[in-house]
């Protein structure tokens, strides 16, 4: 596979995959709008990704991911989903905060840590003692649990 990409270039890959959807193609202008960056910035990034054979790009044409680009996008999106779920369901962060944190962390962790998070989430999902012990994993349940503990402490 290609050499390690910067977080910024990984973000471009992720956005291209998201925008391309079932058609497999998107436009540079749509990438710029989605990311809130200038069109010249998108052009620079697309040239860098094209030189690494991760996107099919020609000026004034649509953009698509290569096979290698799709593999990389799937890996980045997988990390993002796993991290977002962990931050939201386990740590109780709001969905928005969990998504923002996942976007920053997904670039820093490797596959081994990601795989261990998957194993942990699967364990929690299947652990009968987790629910019985009162350990709740989503932010709304945590809020109710904290309120109950606070009320019990006031009695």
Domain presence at residue 2: no
> Where a domain ends, among 15, 41, 65?
65
**What pTM, to 2 d.p., does this model score?**
0.76
Residue (of 112, 2, 16) closest to 51 by Cα position: 2
The DSSP element (H or E) to which 65 belongs, if any, is strand 64-65
102 and 47 fall within a common domain = no
How many CB atoms are closer than 10 A to CB 98? 21
What's the average model confidence in pLDDT over 102-121? 92
Count how many domains the chain has: 2
The number of residues in the chain equals 155
> Where a domain ends, among 41, 65, 89?
65
pLDDT digits (tens, 9 = 90+) for 59-92: 999 999 999 999 999 999 999 999 999 999 888 8
* Residue 106 structural domain: 78-154
Residue (of 33, 43, 35, 47) closest to 11 by Cα position: 35
32 and 99 fall within a common domain = no
What's the average model confidence in pLDDT over 108-128? 87
Domain presence at residue 35: yes
* Residue 63 main-chain phi, psi, to 5 deg: -115, 140
């Amino acid at each position: 596979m290609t050499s390690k990409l910067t977080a910024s270039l990984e973000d471009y890959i992720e956005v291209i995959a998201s925008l391309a959807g079932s058609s497999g193609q998107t436009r540079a202008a749509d990438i710029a709008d989605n990311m809130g960056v200038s069109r010249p910035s998108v052009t620079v990034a697309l040239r860098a990704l094209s030189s690494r054979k991760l996107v099919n790009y020609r000026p004034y044409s649509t953009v698509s991911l290569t096979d290698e680009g799709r593999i990389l996008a799937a890996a980045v999106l997988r990390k993002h989903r796993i991290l977002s779920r962990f931050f939201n369901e386990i740590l109780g962060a709001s969905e928005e905060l969990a998504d923002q944190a996942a976007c920053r962390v997904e670039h820093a962790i490797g596959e081994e840590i990601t795989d261990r998070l998957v194993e942990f989430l699967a364990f929690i999902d299947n652990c009968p003692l987790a629910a019985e012990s009162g350990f709740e994993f989503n932010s709304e349940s945590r809020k109710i649990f904290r309120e109950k503990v606070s009320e019990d402490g006031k009695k």
